[in-house]
Structure 1
């Protein structure tokens, strides 16, 4: 039997797709890159935003129309968040919930034989150390925990991922070691909230980072998104861990709004004062730090004054990366009962922040022009050349290098999203 898998969304969901592939291959199924060759198509969905929901819906409908003779199975967050809509897309579609990946082969077998199987519900089963089939990338995604401790009013992902379930440090380190031995040069520690790791088992994220970073080999560790409220218990420990030579000087610390009132309405669990204190500590101890933030523009209770506070915060902390999202209702989310602000206002605010984002990030990157950077070459560029990462996790375009190697480059040009460079002779 031949199976085609396509995964959407976050790094964690990409890793889920690798687990599905590993389970199928372990059970004798053939994975194909050409959808036309497949007997079964698996769509591993993302459902975080409304445009993504529309994209998933359209994709499933299109596949059913274009490939009426192939079996289609849906996995990912859509399965748990919106089974009603999924059912309307076809009563003949089988499902694999994100906590039921170990049953992937049985669902595919049953579906191929004409049965409709829908595996859903939460599980405490670990996703570490299980068979995985990646894309031969030098980047290894390592899931350290699933679920979260949050109650954010705008989020529907928590309904798919459930309560926090941290995996064993020993198992995580063992998988990292195996990946490095197999040629991985970048280990990405990922979760819905890496800062929540161990809060249910009594261990700390900082200890995990250090154990992975202390493994033998030439590699870098990237730590995924951390919720500010959960980093508060171990700020100094995490700073110390990120100072390790093998860990990128990078943190992804979503703030979502610069207004304490809006943060309270969102049930974020932290204040702007606490957030700025965290950022200040990191930047003081790690001057080369790359700070990535997330901002939701136009939350239903966001006034002009609240928006002004967000502008003020961004200009003050000057993050190197800013991810902007216009607010939209999500199924099951508490904020969906609120009245959305006029879309013209939301659009205007988003455009204003986008311009600020371009200014801040380009200015930050400009400071690196004419500097010499030791970069890790991680992947081929889509338009030629190679993509490398500085120690601060900033992407650099470089020519004529070997994947998986560290090289010295001189930065020649800066944009708001990446750097250009020339290779220096050894």
Structure 2
């Protein structure tokens, strides 16, 4: 039997697909590279944004005559959406990956299996198949927040931090097997250990002790958790094994909107974290997230968000138009007109492109060590110590090279060596 896995969404989802591949391969299932040759297709879904939701629903409808397992956040958060699109598909939640073989076999027999547990399972005991030189390492499931706009909380509702020892041992094994970039992933890496007697700083300290040459990308963390351990966190980021990269969501530059979003920090809290990181790590790459058009966002509130973005000059901004997601509190609020949301999104996108281009152009002529992490149609791509993407004409995966930046766009640098 042949199975094809199609993955949507975040790094955590990509890690879950690696687990499913491992479980299936151990059972003797052949993993194929295209859906056309597959007996069963697994869609590992994302449900966080409406455009992605709609794209996946259309994809499911096109697969209505195929044998399908729908995995990931969509069936876990809203089973009805999946069953309207493809009633016969088997369903698998992010906390039921150990049952992927049973789900596949049911689909293969034209039966429907449903595994929608929301109780976290121990994924570190499950086999995995990874490719390339990037290892995605989940440090926790769920999060400790309850944002009014977030539908992912419905799919992964409970914070469950994995044991430090298991995480460290997994990373040690990956480094020994040739992986050179370690991506710590979670819905909120900063919340790691809140449910246990530990925290992210402790984990990073133990990762730093692992022998070998590798770089760690710390995933997104919410400001309130970064603030809680700020001095120690900045100290941990001084390690040469950590990319100087901070993904810290702003979401809004207005305290009233943040309150309505049920974000557990203020604008000043966010600015304090950014200021302290930049003071101690000047080469920091700052990524942030902004939602424009939240139901209670006034024109003045939006202008304040623009001003905060101008002030912090982020390198990367994930700018999202607000979409009401089913089952969330924000969906019940009075919505802003679509044209207002679209207009604000255009203004924010333009500003972010200008800021990113300006920052990247300052790096032209500088030389950095670059870790080559992926092949492209033309050449390769890698990351400098601040996690800036650098495109190169040639190079080997996993190789460290000294590259001089010769050109820049708002999204990437181009280098030569």
Coarse TM-score class (shorter-chain normalised): over 0.9
Residue 59 of structure 1 corresponds to 59
Structure 2 residue corresponding to 1:130, chosen from 117, 126, 141: 126
Matched, 1:378 2:373: yes
Offset of residue 89 of structure 1? 2.1
1:167 to 142, 158, 162: 162
1:36 aligned partner: 36
4+ residue runs of structure 1 moved beyond 4 angstroms? none
Q: Which residue of 2 aligns with 1:291?
A: 286
CA gap 1:260/1:31 in 2 versus in 1, 3 angstroms: same
Q: Does 1:422 align with 2:413?
A: no
CA distance in 1, matches of 2:379, 2:281: 30
Runs of 5+ in structure 1 lacking a partner? none
In the aligned structure 2, how far is the partner of 1:361 from the partner of 1:340? 31
1:56 deviation in Å?
Answer: 0.8
> What SS class does the counterpart of residue 128 from structure 1 fall into?
helix
- Does 1:395 pair with 2:389? yes
- The answer for the alignment partner of 2:211 in structure 1 is 216
Secondary structure of the 2:182 match is strand
The answer for the alignment partner of 1:105 in structure 2 is 101
- Shift in Å at residue 2 of structure 1? 1.1
Map Cα deviations across residues 285-342 of structure 1 (whole Å, 9 max, x no partner). 1110001000001101001110111011011111111110000100111000112111
Aligned residues: 417
8 Å CA contact 1:213, 1:221 repeated in 2: no
In 2: Cα distance, 1:116 partner to 1:402 partner: 44
What residue in structure 1 maps to residue 89 of structure 2? 93
Which range moved further: 255-264 or 102-111? 102-111
| Aligned: 1:73 with 2:69 | yes
Q: Classify the secondary structure of the residue corresponding to 1:47.
A: coil
Q: CA deviation digits over 1:237-288, x for unaligned, max 9? A: 2111111001000010001000001001101010011110111110011110
- Give, in angstroms, the shift of residue 375 of structure 1: 1.0
Distance 1:181 1:282, change over 3 A: same
| Aligned mate of 2:406, from 409, 412, 415 | 412
**Is residue 180–residue 398 contact of structure 2 (8 Å, CA) maintained in 1?**
yes
Q: Which sits farther off after the overlay, 287-296 or 203-212?
A: 203-212
- Structure 2 equivalent of residue 18 of structure 1: 18
After TM superposition, the score normalised by the length of structure 2 is 0.98
Deviation at 1:129, TM superposition (A): 4.4
Q: CA RMSD in A?
A: 1.0
- The answer (yes or no) to whether the contact 2:181–2:215 under 8 Å persists in 1 is yes
Query: Displacement of 1:115 after TM fit?
Result: 2.2
Structure 2 spans left out of the alignment, 5+ residues: none
1:110-158 CA-partner distances (Å, limit 9, x unpaired): 2222321100121232222421112x21000000000011111110001
Question: Which piece of structure 1 moves more, 369-378 or 87-96?
Answer: 87-96
Aligned twin of 1:338: 333
Matched, 1:225 2:220: yes
What displacement does 1:216 show?
A: 1.1
CA offset digits 1:24-77 (Å, max 9, x no partner): 11111111112222111111111110111101100011112xxx2x41110010
